Chains A and B, each alone.
Chain A
């Protein structure tokens, strides 16, 4: 992957940000940033694929829906994800997330994320041509 992710400060919670050469890559990096709130993504083996599809009226809502779909899979499959392939066409996102079941001893999850929020929510193309996708997650 050619993008990068980072966290930013928000009072009680934490902001996640993905940056990449395409909108899709920025979304994939934001998903890695989400995993990094909970665990070290390098410790999560991308062994099992899970497919995800969401639709939203705008790109920003699509980002929140994508992250919340991942959180739903984490909560119900008890899995963590570290590799993402994202395709976006119009208002629809289809993705594959690869990960593995949570092993509390090995992964040492720091905190559970309750939900992706609309706080500091932004999806935009930056002056240097890269894409940025970000929001605050509630922990």
Chain B
């Protein structure tokens, strides 16, 4: 290993981690140009090359690499939360109607396309412009942009580095949610742990928020697939010995490395545009049902990325390429890249839970910079395989049980619901508590779902 591998978690979480997490984080620590340490966060589990819940930073000057596996297949998958100003009491009586309307408005699941079809020129403009493009097209609120990472547009995107196949997969997928653990939820601010930060974030107890979890759809999957293959086959040419093919990487200072960065940044813009459009569709539904709703984006944050950032290493500021695979950026209070209205308390860190267990809003801690290149957890992670979940649960039973507990589920497939059973996931509360105790982020509020739209 070139640097130490550091794992954060409580004893219970670390013991429950797959042995593969340890093997994978050790492998990451062996990659060329890695700086300081390879980190596994409290929600870490077995990923592709990198563990999911992994963070690693590379120095281009020291022969550092960029890894397609270190970003993952769902490039820039992330979470956004929108405050509505609506009280729980005015929404709860009409949750069934709200669930039906959202399910009709937002395409979900395999084989569902959106209303939007993009020409080649429009695809390129979307890949350059991200959420800014979506807003300019009329699918979003200009006020959202300052509340999105990179102000809604990732610089350095190169649509020319994105294959025709990747673009073809995306042509009819803008504004679609996808499937698996992706969701659109209506949630209630159930508990507030940090009143000051909650006030800055606009979170009020018993008010309703919208949360969206999804990524760059087919375009990101295709880019991940193609570059993983190309990097795996090119590794010997770069003299890189890979203990695991899926660690596939290329020097940052190589044509392949630069081409991947250009394509990956284009996929980040695709994810930002996609979440902006889904948000726009959801707000349209709420506006129709609740004319007094005052919707505003709290924040939009991605958890599968590689970004060029400045970090202090041994007292010296360096530009590093920080991979976060299933890890959320968590800049602390005062960081210049946190939007000015939120800066005093730190960057919102939005953590998705399962259908039944709710989500968390955290704030980046000042100590996260030293602990993990300013990164925190991203979600609960699975505790049970899909096969085991379908063996133990039936989708219609899960839907009925969740209804009893006040969560209305809409999904195209009951097998899909069974695979996403709440009990198939780890305890998200334990994961966020561990992140807080490790000094990565502070808990601000807990969000309880009342409507869950699943793909």
**Beyond A11-B382, A115-B224, A121-B245, is A102–B111 a contact (Cβ under 8 Å)?**
yes
A92 in contact (CB, < 8 A): no
Q: Are A14 and B74 in contact (CB under 8 A)?
A: no
Contacts of B52 in A (CB 8 A): 12
Partner of B225, one of A68, A111, A121: A68
Q: Are A109 and B414 in contact (CB under 8 A)?
A: no
B416 in contact (CB, < 8 A): yes
Q: Are A104 and B246 in contact (CB under 8 A)?
A: no
Docked complex Cα distance between A14 and B45 (Å): 14
**Beyond A78-B113, A104-B412, is A115–B179 a contact (Cβ under 8 Å)?**
no
Partner of B233, one of A14, A57, A76, A108: A57
Q: Are A110 and B413 in contact (CB under 8 A)?
A: yes
Nearest-neighbor residue (CB-CB) of B245 within chain A: A118
**Beyond A9-B387, A10-B46, A11-B20, is A109–B168 a contact (Cβ under 8 Å)?**
no
Docked complex Cα distance between A57 and B230 (Å): 11
Q: Are B221 and A114 in contact (CB under 8 A)?
A: yes
B169 in contact (CB, < 8 A): yes
Q: Are B74 and A104 in contact (CB under 8 A)?
A: no
Interface size in chain A (residues, C-beta < 8 A): 40
Contact with A along B108-119 (1 / 0, CB 8 A): 011111000000
Docked complex Cα distance between A137 and B382 (Å): 15
Q: Are B229 and A65 in contact (CB under 8 A)?
A: yes
Residue of B113, B381, B419 with most chain A CB atoms under a 10 A cut-off: B419
Contacts of B385 in A (CB 8 A): 9-11, 14
Q: Are B246 and A119 in contact (CB under 8 A)?
A: yes
Docked complex Cα distance between A22 and B43 (Å): 41
B299 in contact (CB, < 8 A): no
Contacts of A76 in B (CB 8 A): 168-169, 171
Taking CB atoms and an 8 Å cut-off, the chain A residues in 75-115 that contact chain B are 75-76, 78, 101-105, 107-112, 114-115
Q: Are B386 and A109 in contact (CB under 8 A)?
A: no
**Beyond A72-B222, A76-B169, A138-B48, is A114–B74 a contact (Cβ under 8 Å)?**
yes
Docked complex Cα distance between A105 and B221 (Å): 25
Docked complex Cα distance between A108 and B74 (Å): 23
Contacts of B178 in A (CB 8 A): 112
Contacts of A117 in B (CB 8 A): 48, 73, 228, 246
Contacts of B225 in A (CB 8 A): 68, 115-116
**Beyond A111-B386, A114-B73, A117-B228, is A11–B45 a contact (Cβ under 8 Å)?**
yes
Closest 7 CB pairs of A and B: A102-B111, A109-B110, A110-B415, A11-B46, A114-B221, A112-B110, A110-B416
Q: B residues engaging A (CB < 8 A)?
A: 18, 20, 45-48, 52, 72-74, 109-113, 165, 168-169, 171, 173, 178-180, 218, 221-222, 224-225, 228-229, 232-233, 245-246, 248, 381-382, 385-388, 412-416, 419, 455
Q: A residues engaging B (CB < 8 A)?
A: 7, 9-14, 38, 57, 61, 64-65, 68, 71-72, 74-76, 78, 101-105, 107-112, 114-119, 121, 136, 138-139
29 A-B residue pairings within 8 Å (CB atoms): A9-B385, A11-B20, A11-B45, A11-B382, A14-B385, A14-B387, A38-B110, A61-B232, A61-B233, A64-B229, A72-B165, A76-B169, A104-B110, A104-B413, A109-B413, A110-B419, A111-B110, A111-B179, A111-B386, A112-B180, A114-B74, A115-B73, A118-B246, A118-B248, A119-B246, A136-B48, A138-B72, A139-B179, A139-B386
